Amino acid sequence: MQRFGGVYEHSPWVAERAAAHLGKTMDYDQIAALMADCVDNASREAQLALIRAHPDLAGKAQLASDLTAASSDEQQSAGLDRCTPEEYERFHVLNGQYRKKFGFPFVMAVRNRTRAEILKAFAARLENDIELEFENALVEIHKIARMRLEALGLAGNE
């Protein structure tokens, strides 16, 4: 729990469920797959809570420095802490439109992405229906989790 509790944003239940199945010799891919499987087999309500645990991109939490360390690093790596006033406004508008349409935040694995790429994906995904976006959010959350596992130094165990 101490090592993997923060891999899924504000959702230590994923690590708790995975802990019962963790083997001492599991490699990075096996741990990532096990944790993803715990999410994929969770109830829709638990999945929705996981999605909702994620902050808005370039949102109020980021401006107030109220993100988890991992989220802050991820958003900084994409330059979301260096948005122009126009970009901040665009993110604010898109965050609002997305939450209004889907009832959860836009989630994207932003590490190594540009602000322009993120804004383009944001606008494109607003055109999707809720089922596709629910699935997209989970796929992106799994990508984020894999990056966080890698940051824990597990990639060397592959």
Q: What is the 3-state secondary structure (H, E, C) of 86-137?
A: HHHHHHHHHHHHHHHHHCCCCCCCCCCCCHHHHHHHHHHHCCCCHHHHHHHH
CA distance 32 to 152: 12
For residue 79, give both structure tokens: 């330059």
- Phi and psi based region of residue 58 (left: phi greater than 0; alpha: psi -120 to 50; beta: remaining): left
Whether 142 is catalytic: no
Catalytic residue among 10, 54, 92, 142: 54
**Annotated catalytic sites, by residue?**
54
